[in-house]
Amino acid sequence: MNLSILYMDVVSYISLLCIFIVVFVMAFLFYIVIFTKGVMAMDSESSMLELVWTIVPTFGVLFLCIFNVNFVLSNIEGEVDDTSKIIGRQWYWSYENQNGCYDSYMLSLINNVDNPLVLSYGKTNRLLITSSDVIHSFSVPSLGLKADAIPGRINQIITIPDRVGIFVGYCSELCGVNHSYMPIVVEVINS
C-alpha cells in the first residue's frame, strides 16, 4: 500500500471526526438555547472533564505528529530504484538519469516533446528538481507530481508510478514570456 494513500486516509478520518464534533456541539448548543426554559445550574469546575479534554487532543496531535514524521522520513531515507535529476530552464527541461543527460524541448505538436522523462512502472523513483535560472514548477497532475524548481535549491519527490502510459504536465509557475511552451511529458514503462 502506498504510504501517501494511508496518510491521506488517516488525515481524512481525523478531519471527519473533527467535523462531527463541531456539528454535534453546535447542535447541542442549538437544542439548549431553543428548547430549554430557565437557567441550568451547572458546576463551574470539573477536574475530570478538564483532564479528559486536555489529554485526548494531546494524544491525537501526538499521534498525527508521529505519523507525519514517519511519513516524511520514509520519503527521505527510503531505498530508491531510480534517481532522475530535473533542471528547469527558460523554456525547456533537462533530465539526467541512467539513460544519460538530455534536454526536452517542445515539438510543433501540442503536448509533445522530443525527449520525455522515462520512469519505471512499480519502482521507487526519486526526482531531484531544481532550476538554473528562474523559479519553475514541475507539475504532472495525472501522476500526482508537483514540486517547485528553485535556483540553488533541490526539491525531492519520491513516486511509485501505478500505471503505464504517457502523462503530460506543464510548468505551473509563471516563469517568463514562453512559460506556456515548456510542457512536461513523462513516459512510464515496464522495465
User: Nine-digit cell at 20?
Assistant: 462531527
* pLDDT score for 48: 85
For residue 130, the cross-strand partners are 87
* pLDDT score for 180: 79
* pLDDT score for 1: 45
User: Nine-digit cell at 172?
Assistant: 505551473
Rounded to whole angstroms, what are the CA distances from 166 to 38, 120, 123, 163? 68, 12, 16, 10
User: Nine-digit cell at 178?
Assistant: 514562453
Ranges of the chain with pLDDT below 50: 1
User: Nine-digit cell at 43?
Assistant: 458546576
* pLDDT score for 136: 94
* pLDDT score for 74: 65
* pLDDT score for 77: 60
Report the alpha-carbon distance of residue 136 to residue 38 in Å, rounded: 63
Q: What domains can be seen in the chain, in order of their start residue? A: 3-77 (no CATH), 82-189 (2.60.40.420)
* pLDDT score for 70: 74
CA angle 87, 90, 96 (to 5 degrees): 20
